Amino acid sequence: MSNIITIDGPSGAGKSTIARLTALRLGLSYLDTGAMYRAVTLHCMRKGVRLDDPKAVAGTLADLDLRVELTLEGPMRVFLGAEEVTEKIRTPEVTRNIHYVADVMQVRNLLVEQQRKIGEQGDLVTEGRDQGTLVFPRASLKIYMFATPEVRARRRHAELKQRGIDSSYEEVLEDVSKRDYLDMGRELGGLRKALDAVEIDTSSMSPDEVAEAIVKLAKARLKMQTRKIDKSALEKAREEIERRKQGQ
């Protein structure tokens, strides 16, 4: 029997890092839904359309050729046509513009459909805002991760400082609160906790501690087993996650 584990929660809760570590521990593929929205954003940017025009964005989908390849060890590979764009979608410019594209209903409908098709293969960990509520309502195990806005703002502020970006904690906290308000208010794909999701407060936990808690739940509820992976694989994953975080 295949298993799908969904991890939803607000921005800054550490979903991507924890989903990747959990997938490694359980020997599952990791579906990075955010990367799919990034790829569509890059596609729209290359088309030269106005990203704040939903009709223009929707019009680019007719010739969108988006494909992803899930792996057990490395990150999900992303392709536009024959071109691999796994790294190209991580630029600051894509990051700044992704919210325009993610709010377009036609984009969300298309990517939700693609994500469900990927899920038919089973055995994966996926994270986002709506994975347990909209995309995979019958998932084997649903996790809702959260942390206080203050904690998430401190994490984000530390990341920005490390990248040499000047911003105050107060500005970051305001941005986090605004993002929460917008995410929860979205009609399609809005941030909501599934009724059968397990809540995990990550405010005082490290990514490894959260991943371990999810692994324990999977072993207890789904009778899943961890797989033997050498420490170098885990360390490589952590380094790559950190490197991508610095580039976003």
Report yes or no: 121 and 57 within 8 Å, Cβ to Cβ.
no
Other CB atoms within 10 A of residue 89 CB: 23
CA distance 166 to 157: 9
- pLDDT, the chain, mean: 87
- Average pLDDT over every residue of 224-247: 64
- E strands in 159-204: 198-201
- Is residue 229 pLDDT above 80, yes or no? no
Query: Looking at residue 83, what is its pLDDT?
Result: 97
Buried b (16+ CB within 10 A) or exposed e, 15-37: bbbbbbbbbbbbebbbbbbbbbb
Most confident of 39-53, 66-80, 176-190: 39-53
Which domains, and CATH codes, for the chain? Answer: 1-28+124-239 (3.40.50.300), 32-122 (3.40.50.300)
Containing H/E element for 23? helix 15-26
Query: Looking at residue 218, what is its pLDDT?
Result: 93
- Condensed to tens digits (0 to 9), the pLDDT of residues 90-145 reads 887 888 888 899 889 999 999 999 999 999 988 899 998 899 999 999 999 999 99
Kindly indicate the confidence band of residue 246, based on its pLDDT and cuts at 50, 70 and 90.
low
Query: Looking at residue 162, what is its pLDDT?
Result: 77
Query: Looking at residue 22, what is its pLDDT?
Result: 93
Report yes or no: 206 and 241 within 8 Å, Cβ to Cβ.
no
DSSP string, 73-118: SSPPEEEETTEE-TTGGGSHHHHHHHHHHHT-HHHHHHHHHHHHHH
Q: Output DSSP code: residue 197.
A: P
